[in-house]
Amino acid sequence: MRMTTTSWATLRSGLRLLARPVDVLRGVRRADLRPDFLAALTVTMVLLPQTMAYALLAGLPPQVGLYSAVIASIVAALWGSSIQLQTGPSNTVALLSLAALTPIAVPGTPPYLVGASLLAFMGGVLRLVMGLARLGILVRFVSDAVIVGFTAGAGLLIIFNQITELLRLDLPPSSGPIETLRLVAPRLDDSHLPSLVLGLAAIAIIVLLRRLNRRLPGPLLAIVVGALATALLSLDVRVVGSLPRALPPFSPPPLTDLDLVGALSTAALSITAIGLVEAVSNARSIASQTGQRLDSNQEFVGQGLANIACGLFSGCPVTGSFGRSMLNLQAGARTPMANVFTGLLVTAAMLGLGPLASYIPMASLAGVLLVTAFNLIDRREMARIWRGGGADRLTMTVTLLATLTLPLQFAVLAGILMSLAAYLLRTSTPRVRTVLPADGFRHFEHQPELPPCPQLSIIEILGDLYFGAAQHVDEAIYRNQADHPGQRFLLLRMHSVHNCDISGIHALEAIVRNYREAGGDVYLTRVRRPVLQQMEASGFLDHLGRDHLLGEDVVIGHIFHHVLDPAICIYECSTRAFRECQNLPRPLAGIAGDGCIHTERPAAPPPLIEPQALWQALRSAAPPAVIDVREPREFRQGRVPGSRSIPLPALLTDPSQVPDDRPVVFVCRGGRRSARAAAALLAAGRKDVAALRGGMLAWEAANLLEAVE
């Protein structure tokens, strides 16, 4: 069976995603290796204690956290999209893993470790499949306001979490910042002075070096100074401790244990969803500062392969860490090789630097994290969003508060739901506004202060016409029709409608039906190709009439000359909204008697005569009387031979001017004023009257026009 074009495109796209390491390695420059290595040294100092702590939080031995850090750092860097995103164990994933594994095994036991590896592998497969299926579009619903609020909240959480380590206070796990402050406040006198000094010294070193030269690895130097002080002064402070000296062992999870797979499937799906949102949100937050363009599908693949590798090498579920990623950025990382170096340095630390890690004080690490966390709070951007107001302000505020008060996964979910709700609200209520020509009739603008055309309503739809917005658009146009019943014709400008589904088609059909039932019609202009294709496929274009779809340059002229009633334009309308109106003839003063003219449409069309038939009749022995009901200026521009000028207002005021001894044919420009005149005489009892079909336009098209000198 031959593969279709779509199948080949999908296959090539998947191969490009899997071949990402080739692009990463090709992009490495020698000048980037040194800053990448220095950034990796800094991140490694933080990664070592963090990953061991997260492993313990998940009920796993510390070495499982280190194994995962080694593998995830390298694999996610080579196959991911973000340059700075640092992947490894995290607080959120550790807690979710603990909740998923505790019901099936005792923490720390071999079955528990097997379950952790299987959970990582299953979550990795789900991530990989989503990336290859190009479902990265899902993260587009996380707005920048969510990122800013989540980032600020995460920074505050890190600050509060590191206070206890900075002060070396043994406190029970707290439920949030307020609880942390409540527990810390009464115990400030119990603070450990050497730990506090080391932490504050680390903060001072980072801040001072940043002011002197931002390229200096401040966090790394702060940790080195802290370690030297601890070793030389024999300070009684908490340290990282010794590290395991072994490479991650290869241990495939039991994929054939269907009972265990089934028991972990729901948890794997949950961790996958939260982990992807957390990783991609973190990557987007960093990219907003660096200007990097992210490929969400590539990031899905990187996160998937990282988790699969962790599952195969005795690891645990991993995701992108915001704190370590920001530290990686601030330490000067330029390429993904910084995270590759991080994985290699963690391996080296496990194999040969285990004893030296016993001198790294936890207080110095707390100081580094405090500075990093403070920089996460983008006060300038938060102020911009707050000043802008609207849905972005609410979304940012809700996400920030949720991050501080709810578990992190629910905080991110709350922000996503807020941004999704704001998106649905905004797209389901697109602006539907009337427009009129402006700037010398070159542009259309919303000008509610100007009087509208009494016959034609021009409306533009500023948004997609899909199921969520169809009713709103239909109701807005219906209200406009009810407010202006004289506007029997509608022109829809649809250049801002990029998508239209079947609900939108039904709304358009209802709009056309309403106007046609009122004796009018609907015309469209500037319809985009995807919308036009949908209209054609659904049969709407045939229902509307293809001649009702017109280009913007000709649509007003066509409607003015072929659709609108010139009697209303000349005798009733003083708006002169369009360029074509500016050349309308002015009725002679007083010619209409009391100034009133009946411009109601005839109940039934009068008899019509074709131009050639009238020409032959005029050459007969008993020619009809031809009455031209146009204004005198129009009459002078060209006429039917032998015709007599009686403007419509004068004729309706005094019908006795029309001869009654022979048949009468009424003539106007397009046939509408003459039809009204013929109908008026028919209503008065005359039977031998008719109107020229198509008026002088048809007469001219037949090459019968006679100019008057």
Instruction: Read off the pLDDT of residues 410-431 as tens digits, 9 standing for 90 and up.
Output: 666 677 777 778 778 888 889 9
Tens of pLDDT along 484-531? 988 999 999 999 999 999 999 999 999 999 999 988 999 999 999 999
Instruction: Count CA within 13 A, CB hemisphere, residue 704.
Output: 21
pLDDT at residue 591 greater than cutoff 50: no
**Predicted confidence band of residue 10 (pLDDT cuts 50, 70, 90):** low
Given a cut of 80, is residue 250 above it in pLDDT? yes
Q: Is residue 548 part of a domain?
A: yes
> Alpha-carbon distance 605 to 676, whole Å?
9
- Tell which residue, 72, 87, 98, has the closest CA to residue 407: 98
CA distances from 9 to 14, 15, 55, 280 (A): 9, 10, 41, 25
Asked whether residue 595 is assigned to any structural domain, the reply reads no
Is 374 in the same domain as 474? no
Q: Are residues 457 and 492 in the same domain?
A: yes
User: What is the torsional sign of CA 146, 148, 152, 155?
Assistant: positive
Q: How confident is the model at residue 566 (pLDDT cuts 50, 70, 90)?
A: confident
219-239 residue pLDDT tens: 778 888 888 999 898 888 888
Return the CATH number at 680: 3.40.250.10
- For residues 295-305, average pLDDT: 91
Q: Is residue 225 part of a domain?
A: yes
- What domain count does the chain have? 3
User: Higher pLDDT residue, 569 or 176?
Assistant: 569
Reading phi first (left if > 0) and then psi (alpha if -120 to 50, else beta), residue 694 is in left
Scan for tokens 């001017």, then name that residue.
Answer: 657
Query: What's the rounded mean pLDDT across residues 175-184?
Result: 76
Listing DSSP states for 690-706 in one string gives EEETTHHHHHHHTT--B
CATH number of the domain to which 535 belongs: 3.30.750.24
For 157, the domain range is 14-20+31-238+251-419
**Looking at residue 489, what DSSP letter applies?**
E
Integer Cα distance of 430 and 497 in angstroms: 10
Residues 218 and 295 in one domain: yes
Q: What is the pLDDT of residues 202-213, one digit of tens each?
A: 899 988 988 887
Q: 596 falls in which pLDDT band (50, 70, 90)?
A: very low
Q: Determine, yes or no, domain membership for 602.
A: no
Mean pLDDT on 649-655: 87
For the cut 50, the answer to whether the pLDDT of residue 363 exceeds it is yes
Report whether 559 contacts 577 (CB < 8 A): no
User: Do 96 and 198 reside in the same domain of the chain?
Assistant: yes
Asked whether residue 87 falls in the same domain as residue 140, the answer is yes
Question: Would you say the pTM of this structure is higher than 0.85?
Answer: no
Q: Where are the alpha helices (DSSP H) in 58-104?
A: 62-79, 91-101
266: which 2 tokens? 């729901």
- By CB atoms closer than 10 A (0-12, 13-18, 19+), residue 537 is exposed
Residue 702 has pLDDT above 80, yes or no: yes
pLDDT at residue 33 is higher than 90: yes
Q: How many helices (H) and strands (E) does the chain have?
A: 29, 14
**pLDDT attached to residue 104:** 87
**Tokens, residue 567:** 């009697």
- Does residue 9 lie within any of the structural domains? no
Q: Which of 419, 448, 467 is a domain's end point?
A: 419
pLDDT exceeds cutoff 80 at 464: yes
Q: Check whether residue 216 and residue 345 sit in a common domain.
A: yes
CB 396 within 8 A of CB 382: yes
Domain boundary among 359, 391, 419: 419
**pLDDT given at position 315:** 94
pLDDT in tens, 108-128: 889 999 999 999 999 999 999
Convert the pLDDT of each residue in 273-282 to its tens digit: 777 777 887 8
Smallest CA-to-CA distance from 264 within 380, 78, 122, 70 is with 122
In the predicted model, what is the mean pLDDT of the chain? 85
Same domain flag for 106 and 203: yes
CB atoms within 10 A of CB 103: 10
Q: Are 269 and 93 in contact (CB under 8 A)?
A: no
Residue with tokens 């070096």: 209
Place of tokens 């807005």: 476
Joined tokens for residue 419: 């941004």
Bridge partners (DSSP) listed for residue 457 = 490
Residues 474 and 364 in one domain: no
Mean pLDDT within 44-52: 80
348 and 461 belong to one structural domain: no
Residue 176, pLDDT score:
67
Asked whether the beta carbons of 109 and 59 are under 8 A apart, the reply is no
Q: How confident is the model at residue 709 (pLDDT cuts 50, 70, 90)?
A: very low
Same domain, 555 and 622: no
393 and 501 assigned to the same domain: no
The answer to whether residue 129 is domain-embedded is yes
* 696 part of a folded domain: yes
> Residue 629: what pLDDT?
92
Query: Are residues 692 and 667 part of one domain?
Result: yes
What are 291's two structure tokens? 């200007």
Backbone angles phi, psi at 523, to 5 degrees: -130, 150
